[in-house]
């Protein structure tokens, strides 16, 4: 059914004799899921609001766009920003009591409640049959003569009374959020009211609103309404319409049996079914699909009490090598419509690798705009901050690298970054994984970086590299989000010799957050031979090293610029490690250009290695096209 939105007419009623009315206090809160002080102060506010109950006070919370990540803000940023601007909010947490920016606690709420109001508001709502839209009605009655100092409006906010995350959505650790504003009706400007009221005057406003698709749990939808004088921002009265019971509702809350990376093309998923309604769940239809393709169905029967869960193994599925997405959801709970639009489905990304990996070397400096790079896989199980590509810091002449956002990650969050699987069949007697790392703690936290290696498609893992805290750090502590300078990188080498002649080697970088500061890696190079970091920093006297054009067909030019006299040579190797060219450039001082003739080479990827008489090497990937 297409969702609709209408505003019905406003009606005025005649005057009657009334007395002043009991006030319902309104608290507007401004908070954020990545705000540390918010996490520290919100429990006391929530306790005060709970103790007061909706008979005394109602609240509406706005999740702001700063200081970090907050998915609830991202879902409706514009209307939150309007309320931030309306009150001139400059920091979070902040609270407004009946339109006044002041301390909000149990004492101030109790002090405000006895002050009578010149209005009553009767606020109610009903949903249509499939919960795709709600009709909200507010009946306002003046019990005292009233003249506003400015434009008078009725504000109505659709709120989720309670949102519970399995993992903190931001970096401050909060998982439970209350009375979060999800939509303003009809928008942030509200609905115009009369500015002057006589005793007994009434105004009825009826609004129909679409149910936002980003709602986490429709059984938690409530509405908060309040009159506001835009002249002085005062709130003379507020009202609340409680959530409505949904008897039949169900969600798929988890998927197992689908490893993030695997070598087998066949997998057997298991889903977790949660009864999010109030009636015992006895039947439904399980739906599942791969990559948005044909939806397969499986009838389900059983018995799941309200709030309880059960698991169901699905039929085995077969797909192809590459990156995929598996999704599952349930329809027809007890033969009825399912209303929990967001959490009714769960999906997982996974990749299937070949049984024989790509021939090393594998080199990556994150210069390509696509991220993760081709063949690389990110596992971000909590959907929080994770590995991203940045263009403002790099360990070589590029300004690109891969960043793990520990600054905004919750403590304990684990994010994995898989390299393409490697075929390490080679004649060399040594093999190495080189990379550069940059990291600063916030105030001494032990954020951790591990390199893990598997030769059995991820069934077991070895950990040849494990650094955390001060041993991982390349810069001093910083309370600002850390971005490394050119001197704040350190070369790291991992011995990969034990894996020589293994045809399927999986390597992953594992980042474990302690809610510290940012981590970066760059110039990753899995190759034959001893340590040879693929970074220009290994030869400090070279200020630039370029191959242009690249890609090229038959001819290209090597450009080297040194800051002092140095004997330089270079060689070019193919993907199998075979040398196709070697040349000694002699003593180089300043800018040097060397033509490279590739007319006899096959099309493909090659690596050019610059070698210095002072020791050290630089590697750059080149692409020959025919």
- Spans of all domains in the chain: 11-241, 250-352, 358-537, 539-624
Of 239, 100, 220, the C-alpha closest to 156 is 239
Of 476, 455, 477, the C-alpha closest to 464 is 455
pLDDT class of 9 with cuts at 50, 70, 90: very low
Fold match flag (250-352 vs 539-624): yes
For 90, counting Cβ atoms within 10 Å of its Cβ (0-12 exposed, 13-18 middle, 19+ buried), the class is exposed
Number of helices (H) and strands (E), helices first, in the chain? Answer: 5, 45
Residue matched to tokens 């149910």: 211
82 vs 62: CA distance, rounded Å: 10
Task: Tell how strand 422-423 and strand 358-359 pair up.
Answer: parallel
- Domain topology for 358-537: Jelly Rolls (2.60.120)
Residues 6+ apart with CB under 8 A from 583: 569, 570, 571, 594
Of 211, 241, 215, the C-alpha closest to 226 is 241
Residues 6+ apart with CB under 8 A from 110: 52, 56
Out of 10-24, 196-210, 324-338, 391-405, least confident range: 10-24
* Residue range 422-463, pLDDT digits in tens: 999 988 788 899 999 999 999 999 999 999 999 999 989 999
* Residue range 293-341, pLDDT digits in tens: 999 999 999 999 998 999 999 999 999 988 899 999 998 999 887 665 4
Average pLDDT of the chain is 88
CB 61 within 8 A of CB 42: no
- Strand, coil or helix: 71: helix
- The CATH architecture assigned to 539-624 reads Sandwich (2.60)
Residue matched to tokens 């009725």: 154
Task: Give the residues across from 58 on adjacent strands.
Answer: 26
472 phi, psi to nearest 5 deg: -85, -30
Residues 6+ apart with CB under 8 A from 31: 38, 42, 61, 62, 63, 64, 92, 93
* Residue range 54-109, pLDDT digits in tens: 679 999 999 999 988 899 999 999 999 999 999 999 999 999 999 999 999 888 99
pTM of the model: 0.60
CATH of domain 11-241: 2.60.40.10
Which tokens sit at 152?
A: 């008078």
Q: Count other C-beta atoms under 10 Å from residue 418's C-beta.
A: 23
pLDDT at 614 over 70: no
Whether omega before 130 lies within 30 degrees of 0, making that bond cis, reads no
Which tokens sit at 488?
A: 């704040």
The 10 Å CB-count burial string (b at 16+, else e) for 148-184 is beeebbbbbbbbbbbbebeebbbbbbbeebbbbbbbb
Out of 89-98, 226-235, 564-573, least confident range: 564-573
140 vs 24: CA distance, rounded Å: 14
CB 537 within 8 A of CB 437: no
* Residue range 113-171, pLDDT digits in tens: 999 999 999 999 999 877 889 999 999 999 999 999 999 999 999 999 999 887 788 87
CB 99 within 8 A of CB 234: yes
284 vs 552: CA distance, rounded Å: 58
DSSP assignment of 134-202: EEEEEEEEESS-EE-SS-EEEEEEEEEEEEE-SS-SSSS---EEEEEEEEEES-TT-EE--SEE-TT-E
Helix (H) or strand (E) holding 485: none
The CA–CA distances, whole Å, from 179 to 96, 386, 528, 626 equal: 14, 28, 58, 62
Which of 2.60.40.10, 2.60.40.1080, 3.30.413.10, 3.40.50.300 is the CATH number of 250-352? Answer: 2.60.40.10
* Residue range 396-406, pLDDT digits in tens: 767 899 999 99
60 vs 99: CA distance, rounded Å: 12
DSSP assignment of 588-607: E-SEEEEEEE-TTSPSEEEE
């Amino acid at each position: 059914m297409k969702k609709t939105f209408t505003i019905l007419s406003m009606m005025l009623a005649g005057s009657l004799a009334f007395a002043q009315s009991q006030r319902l206090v309104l608290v507007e809160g401004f908070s954020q899921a990545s705000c540390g002080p918010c996490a520290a102060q919100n429990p006391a506010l929530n306790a005060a609001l709970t103790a007061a109950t909706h008979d005394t006070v109602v609240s509406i919370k706005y999740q702001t766009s700063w200081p970090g990540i907050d998915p609830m803000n991202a879902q409706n940023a514009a209307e939150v920003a309007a309320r931030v601007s309306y009150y001139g909010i400059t920091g979070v947490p902040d609270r407004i009591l009946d339109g006044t920016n002041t301390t909000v606690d149990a004492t101030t709420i109790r002090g405000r409640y006895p002050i009578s109001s010149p209005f009553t508001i009767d606020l109610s709502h009903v949903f249509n049959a499939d919960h795709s839209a709600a009709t909200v009605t507010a009946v306002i009655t003046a019990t005292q003569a009233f003249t506003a100092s400015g434009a008078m409006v009725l504000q109505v906010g659709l709120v989720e009374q309670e949102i519970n995350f399995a993992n903190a959505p931001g970096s401050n650790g909060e998982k439970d959020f209350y009375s979060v504003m999800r939509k303003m009706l009809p928008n942030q400007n509200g609905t115009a009211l009369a500015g002057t009221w006589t005793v007994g005057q009434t105004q009825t406003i009826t609004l129909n609103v679409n149910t936002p698709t980003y709602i986490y749990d429709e059984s938690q939808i409530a509405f908060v309404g309040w009159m506001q004088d835009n002249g002085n921002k005062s709130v003379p009265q507020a009202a609340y319409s409680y959530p409505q019971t949904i008897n039949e509702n169900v969600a798929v809350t988890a998927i197992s049996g689908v490893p993030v990376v695997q070598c087998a093309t066949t997998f057997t998923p298991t889903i977790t079914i949660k009864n999010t309604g109030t009636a015992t769940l006895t039947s439904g239809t399980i739906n599942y699909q791969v990559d948005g393709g044909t939806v397969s169905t499986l009838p389900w029967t059983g018995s799941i009490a309200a709030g309880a869960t059960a698991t169901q193994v699905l039929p085995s599925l077969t797909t192809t090598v590459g990156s995929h997405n598996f999704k599952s959801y349930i329809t027809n709970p007890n033969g009825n419509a399912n209303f929990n639009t967001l959490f009714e489905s769960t999906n997982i990304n996974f990749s299937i690798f070949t049984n024989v990996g790509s021939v090393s070397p594998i080199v990556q400096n994150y210069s390509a705009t696509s991220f993760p790079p081709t063949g690389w896989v990110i596992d971000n199980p909590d959907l929080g901050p994770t590995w991203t590509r940045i263009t403002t810091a790099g360990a070589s002449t590029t300004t690109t690298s891969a960043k793990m956002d520990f600054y905004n990650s919750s403590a304990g969050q684990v994010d994995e970054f898989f390299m393409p699987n490697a075929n390490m069949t080679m004649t060399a007697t040594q093999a190495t994984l080189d990379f550069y790392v940059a990291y600063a703690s916030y105030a001494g936290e032990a954020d951790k970086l591990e390199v893990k290696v598997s030769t059995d498609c991820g069934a077991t893992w070895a950990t040849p590299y494990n650094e955390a805290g001060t041993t991982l750090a390349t810069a001093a502590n910083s309370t600002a989000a850390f971005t490394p300078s050119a001197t704040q990188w350190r070369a790291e080498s991992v011995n990969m010799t034990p894996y020589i002649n293994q045809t399927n080697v999986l390597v992953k970088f594992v980042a474990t957050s302690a809610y510290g500061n940012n981590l970066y890696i760059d110039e990753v190079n899995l190759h034959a031979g001893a340590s040879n970091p693929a970074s220009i920093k290994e030869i400090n006297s070279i200020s630039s090293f370029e191959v242009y054009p690249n890609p090229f067909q038959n001819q290209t030019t090597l450009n080297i610029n040194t800051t002092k006299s140095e004997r330089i040579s270079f060689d070019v190797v193919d993907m199998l490690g075979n040398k196709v060219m070697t040349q000694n450039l002699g003593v180089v001082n300043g800018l040097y250009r060397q033509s490279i003739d590739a007319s006899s080479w096959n099309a493909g990827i090659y690596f050019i290695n610059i070698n210095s008489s002072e020791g050290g090497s630089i590697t750059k990937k080149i692409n020959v096209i025919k």
